A and B are shown apart, each in its own frame.
Chain A
Amino acid sequence: MRVLLDNITKIFGKVVAVNDLTLEVEDGKLVVLLGPSGCGKSTTLLMIAGIYRPTEGKIWFGDNVVNDLPPKDRKIGLVFQSYALYPHMTVFENIAFPLRLKRENKKEIDKKVKKISEFLEIGELLDRKPIQLSGGQQQRVAVARALVKSPDILLLDEPLSNLDAKLRVVMRTELKKMQMRLGITTIFVTHDQSEAMTVADKIAVIKNGVLQQYSSPDELYDIPKNLFVATFVGSPPMNIIEGSLSFKDGNLFFLNPDVRFELPEDMKVVLKQERNTEEVLFGVRPEDVNISYERSGSQDSTSWLVDMIEMMGRELLVTLSREKTMLKTIVDREHVPSIGEKVNVEFTGKVFLFDKYSGKNLLCEE
């Protein structure tokens, strides 16, 4: 079912938790609400669930406004970060609870619970109490309880945050597979950008209750609309360097006291001449910074000093510095520099420019 949030605002006393949010979730798609903790993701989800009522705006399910519909009539399944299983009921009773409330007959309930618990591979756990389950098992039970009444919409509030790192990676692919198999419209809340990137059809990045960007994971990565999105998405985060722009001899340069980069041709077209001395932020992702080693003894003015090397598994994160300007880069383990060594730097991928004050991506139209 299509979900449309139409200029939704939620105010708690003096706190504006969600500010004029408009978002369309297409039928059968998985949309992630992504943002740092406290940005209003859960509040948004709870409004869709009908637990909070929006202060302003309308929520549409399909062709109906559901603002006045109580949660039980919304045909939704909801999974909390805490799983919120009923501690006094067994796994079976937990999963069967929504069906019992609908007064379905016992045979039907048994059949449905069995089917969903086999689907989620928790068939052997039905007699246990929630406290006797591992975190991953509890999570599956919570998903089973949410899905057992075949809801139109599945809402997941940080469903993986309580799992250990390894299981989290496994479960996110499984959740995605399950969602695709069932084709259920899903809204998934997380603060973890890599989780968001792997599961989402579309991601809504939220900051302080305000929608920053709503687009596909690819687009979010390639064309971030502002500085916040650019630094929040991608790990390790994008390098940001303060400085100004200047045109010289028909070429566009970014410069500050320490560095001077020539910017690619296509930027010249977008950025007009009058942006000459503007204060901007220059951004480049660590994976797009390439280093090359200097011939010994040369005193090249573009060289960078290797400051720090951090192990990241398959790769290394290398911090370079030039006076006060820092630059991080990812280096594979075949070409390990050593601390104190001087290297040259080259940008192999996209570079970005942001307005220093508004944070807007200067290369985005609009």
Chain B
Amino acid sequence: MKGQTPRGATQVIPKRAIYSLKRKKKKERRAQEVRGEAVTFSRRNEIISTIIMTIISIPIFLSYLWLFLSSFSAKMWHGLIPLKFTLHNWRFLWQPIKFGAVMHTSIWPITLNTLLLALAVTISEVLVSTLSGYALSRFRFKGRVMIQGMTMLLHAFPGVALLIAIYYVLYTMRLLDTLWGVMLVKISLEIPMSTNIIKGFFDNIPWDIEWSSFVDGCNRWQTWRYVILPLLKPGIAAISLFSFLSGWGEFLYIYTFIFTSKKQTLATFLNSLIGEFKFVDYGLLSAVATFYMIPTLLFFIFTQKALLQMSFGGRKA
């Protein structure tokens, strides 16, 4: 018979076949990585990346360490090495600070203001943007694309550019020099951003999963509670962390729209400690700064786990 490979001829695997085999392995591995399965990093790579990350974070870590240590020491040797443990710098916790001629108010009402602002911003943002993010992700309505574009545009404006306009708005609404006013400004300026973030998380939840839950017997509320919300946890953690930090750290609007010192927040309080006198009590300053950081750290620790667990699975070949 013609046109056939003769029987008995040795089979030689062509080079290209070997090459494509290797490539297939590589592909498989990449697929594994995409699926989020553990791919064992080579030991050397692991060590190298650890070293690099350590080196990068050392200066940041050291400066926080310095801040922390100096808040507990009476004196710093050459401004670097702490000497003699003291709680004197932390006296603002139990007594109003007198500082030259000015008597500062106790720190607790100010802390409460800061906390109120941060929590109000967080709660309203999470509530509003999960709902609006759901709508933007799931419903097809007129103007959807335009709204999305505008939210991006709004976010592109720096807050400073709006100061005068906002001042005027707050003035006409009689909300100047109130915490309420600042809350509203913060919330309205940040909802677009967090809506966009959370919309991305909704986009990642397949319709199939939502539909399956309907067939399994959920009503809309149960679908939301048992299926969507758990899958959305990382997203909610992300926007609550961002909005808490931005509320807690807000300076500009407080500085501009609040005139009564009792209504100020920690950020402006800290600023007034630096600003009022020619000399600065570094010990006190670092103690207040450390105090100021505590909630941020706590909040981060609580949301971290949710932030890191992000996976949508259930499909692989």
Would B315 and A83 count as touching, CB distance under 8 A?
yes
* Cross-chain pair count, CB within 8 angstroms: 99
- Contact status B212-A78, CB under 8 Å: yes
Q: State whether A338 touches B211 (Cβ < 8 A).
A: no
Inter-subunit contact B216/A72 (CB<8 Å): yes
Which chain B positions have C-beta within 8 A of A149? 217
A129 and B230 alpha carbons, distance in the complex (Å): 14
Instruction: Please state if A338 and B4 are interface contacts (CB–CB under 8 Å).
Output: yes
> B59-67, B153-161, B306-314: which lies at the A interface?
B306-314
Q: Does chain A have a CB within 8 A of B103?
A: no
Interface residue count on the A side (C-beta < 8 Å): 40
Majority SS at the chain A contact face: loop
Name B313's contact: one of A50, A77, A130, A163 (CB within 8 Å).
A130
A84-B211 in contact given A101-B217, A131-B314, A138-B316 (Cβ < 8 Å)? yes
Instruction: List CB contacts (< 8 Å) of B106-165 with chain A.
Output: none
B55: A residues at CB distance < 8 A: none
B206 contacts partner chain A, Cβ-Cβ < 8 Å: yes
Whether A82 pairs with B208 at a CB distance below 8 angstroms is: yes
Return the contact of A83 from the options B311, B312, B314 (Cβ within 8 A): B314
Please classify how large the interface on chain B is, using the bins under 10, 10 to 19, 20 to 34, 35 or more. Answer: 20 to 34
Q: How far is the CA of A341 from the CA of B1 in the complex (A)?
A: 11
Give A234 to B311 CA distance when docked, in angstroms: 41
Nearest chain A CB to B172's CB is how many angstroms away?
A: 44
Q: Mark B200-242, 1 if CB is under 8 A from A, else 0.
A: 0000001011011111111100100011001100000000000
Q: Which residues in chain A, 73-93, are within 8 Å of chain B measured between CB atoms?
A: 74, 76-78, 80, 82-88
Please state if B209 and A72 are interface contacts (CB–CB under 8 Å).
no
Contact with B4, one of A135, A164, A336, A341 (Cβ below 8 angstroms):
A336
CA distance A88 to B211 in the complex (A): 16
Chain A positions within 8 Å of B313 at CB level: 85, 87, 129-131
Is A77's CB under 8 angstroms from B317's CB?
A: no
A339 contacts partner chain B, Cβ-Cβ < 8 Å: yes
Taking the closest CB of chain B, its distance from the CB of A160, in whole angstroms, is 11
Verify if A229 is at the interface (C-beta below 8 Å from B): no
> Which single residue of chain A is at the shortest CB-CB distance from B212?
A84
**Of B206, B219, B311, which is within 8 A of A72 by CB?**
B219
List 5 extra interface pairs beyond A70-B214, A86-B314, CB under 8 A. Answer: A72-B217, A85-B209, A87-B231, A131-B37, A338-B4
9 contacts between A and B (CB under 8 A): A70-B219, A77-B215, A82-B314, A83-B315, A84-B211, A86-B209, A101-B216, A131-B35, A135-B316
